[in-house]
Amino acid sequence: MTVTVPDAITEWEAGMFCMSPQGLGLAPATTLTAFKPFFVELALPYAVVRHEAFTLVATVFNYLQQCLRVRVTLVELVELEVLAGTDQGPYTGCVCTDEERTFQWNVRATSLGKMNVTVTAEALNSDKLCSTQMPTMPAQQHVDTETKLLMVQAPKAM
C-alpha cells in the first residue's frame, strides 16, 4: 500500500485485526518509521503587493546518510516574473547528510489575485563529487514538489 508521509521523520504505531466466521484475530501492535529521504520547503510571504520585488526562498533538506546532488526548479508562471540579474535556474547543488541548502529567486508578481507558486527538487544521478563524497540516489523518492498559495494585492492608494 502506498501512502503520502509527512516531510519529517514520523513514527507510527499500527495494529491489525481481522474477522471471520471462525472468530476475531488480533495482531500485536508494531512500530513503523516513515520519512522522506529529502524534501523541499518553500518560504513565501502570505501576500505581496503587485509589481513589488521580493525574494522567493526554497530550502532542500537531506535526511540520508549520504550526500545528494539536486536540481531545484521554480516552475514558470506568467504572473511571476524572475527579475533581471537573477539566475533563473534551475539550480544544481549538493546537500549532504543532515544538512539543508537554500536556493532563492528575486521575483515580482505581475497580476492581482491568488497564484500557486511551485518549486521542484530532483535528486540527480551524478559522477561529480559532493565535497569528498560520491552523491547517492535515493532508492524510492527521486523528486519532491511543493506548491504554496501567494496572494497578490493592489498597491494602497495614497
DSSP secondary structure letters along 110-152: -SSEEEEEEEEEEE----S-BTTBPPP--SS--EEEEEEEEEE
User: CB of 149 within 8 A of CB of 118?
Assistant: no
Say if residue 54 is exposed, middle or buried (CB neighbours under 10 Å; 0-12, 13-18, 19+): middle
User: CB of 145 within 8 A of CB of 120?
Assistant: yes
β-pair partners for 149: 116
Strand 38-43, strand 53-62: pairing: antiparallel
What's residue 59's pLDDT? 92
Cell of 14: 499500527
CA distance 31 to 46: 37
Q: Where are the domains of the chain?
A: 36-153
What's the Rg (C-alpha) of the chain? 21
What's residue 93's pLDDT? 86
pLDDT tens digit at each of 158 positions of the chain: 566 666 666 787 878 888 888 888 888 888 877 777 788 899 988 888 888 888 889 999 888 888 889 899 888 888 888 877 666 667 888 888 888 899 988 888 888 889 888 999 998 888 888 888 888 777 777 888 999 998 988 888 76
Q: Is domain 36-153 annotated with CATH 2.60.40.10?
A: yes
What's residue 119's pLDDT? 92
CA distance 102 to 82: 17
